[in-house]
Chain A
Amino acid sequence: MSRKEDNKVLVIPCSGIGKAFGSVAREAMYMIVEELRPEETETVCLSLLTLGDEEAKDRVRSHPVITIDGCAQACAEENVKGVGGRSVANFRVVDTYREHRELKVKSVLHPGEAGRKLAHILARKVASQVDAVKAKEEMIDG
């Protein structure tokens, strides 16, 4: 594995199935890992962490992790912390929504155009955080 591959930032959303903001968190993650920062980021199945999968635990302990949560239960953040993951930042969809209350998410299954816009705004914020984490790591590496 190359140094660059090894240093990828993990972006983990809650993917909450019970609330529309869970879909926004998941959508934002895919925008980051597939479109905005595909070389610098990847994801891990949160369900693997919940189950206690050893490989998944190793990954979150050895990589910087950014979580995105859909509600105050903060499942992504709590599950990463629970296994001693290297959590470097935690985002909540509701914080971005508070700044853009006009963007009403339609439903869990169909977030709609507004839901996608909200996800994109959030994804850009997370991408900036990814850049900051990478810059800091490069400084430390010299």
Chain B
Amino acid sequence: MVDLPKKKVGIIACAGEEIPEGTISRVAARMVLEEVRPEDTVTLCLPLFLAGDERERAFARFYPTIAIDGCEKLCAKRATEKYSGPVSTYIVVDRLIQKRGLSSGQSRHELDEAGQRAAEVVAQEIVNQVERILGRERAVAAMPGVAATAPAGAGTACACASGIPMTQVKIGGQSVGLVALEPIFEQFYQEGRRDGPGLDEDLMKTVKLYNYVPPSAEERYKATLLEEYEKFCRRKGG
């Protein structure tokens, strides 16, 4: 069975520099990425949605994504949805810590005791959402220092520049970049799918998980996907 990278959860933090809650969003995200769930999570720098290329902008179509926002401006959620794709869920630091009767602390630079506690609570909530998205309902242990499953920094994944596989295909005479095409083909191949009724529909359904397909071009996409999949199977030896 091919391990499609959809099994990792994307985390996009606003990291807002002007307010303590922005620092809390960043620290909480890193706690999860570095210390608590390094094997299940991946991140991308939010400003890369503008500064990067199509591979970066494919992030939220490729990974189910949690946006972590410091304030109600929701920069992480809104920018992700504007440039990349819908988020699976989002957490607003300000809202969450108020709900828990906590404080953000006084410092946006280095978190004080209150800010650190708030970051731990936000990290806990991120982990809860990661578990939910991955379909695991296992009990989540108490936070950092207790729940750590890996040494700091181990296995931390940044998706910039190289993390998301993109394949260029010709559709209707135009070159189109399709995210995750190779792993999708590999999955179908390993499942023994070579031809038969519904293959084009199933390929299309899976490709659409990661790519926008204009409704008016669906038939052209389907035909191209079948052609490309046949080529893929021939390369693999039939």
Chain A residues near B (Cβ < 8 Å): 12-19, 22, 26-27, 29-30, 34, 43-53, 71, 73-76, 78-79, 82, 106-110
Contacts and interface: CB of A to CB of B under 8 A. Distances in A.
Most buried by A among B26, B44, B45, B160: B45
B34 A73 contact: no
B40 interface: no
Contact of B79 (A26, A47, A109): A47
A90 B181 CA distance: 38
B17 A46 contact: yes
Contact of A109 (B15, B22, B34, B159): B34
Contacts of B31: 109
Contacts of A18: 43-45, 156, 158-160
Interface residues on B, range: 35 or more
Contacts, number: 120
A108 B45 contact: no
Contacts of B8: none
Contacts of A12: 17
B15 A47 contact: yes
A45 B18 CA distance: 6
A17 B50 contact: no
A83 to B, nearest CB: 9
Contact of A78 (B26, B50, B82): B50
B153 A108 contact: yes
Interface of B: 13-19, 22, 26-27, 29-31, 33-35, 43-52, 73, 75-76, 78-79, 82, 108-109, 152-153, 156, 158-161
A52 B47 CA distance: 11
A47 B76 contact: yes
Contacts of B27: 109
Contacts of B108: 30
A50 to B, nearest CB: 5
Contacts of A71: 160
B22 to A, nearest CB: 6
Contacts of A52: 82
B46 A50 contact: yes
A51 B45 contact: no
Contacts of B160: 18, 71, 73
A73 B52 contact: yes
Contact of A44 (B17, B26, B46, B158): B17
Contacts of B50: 50, 75, 78-79, 82
Given A45-B17, A45-B18, A46-B17, A51 B78 contact: yes
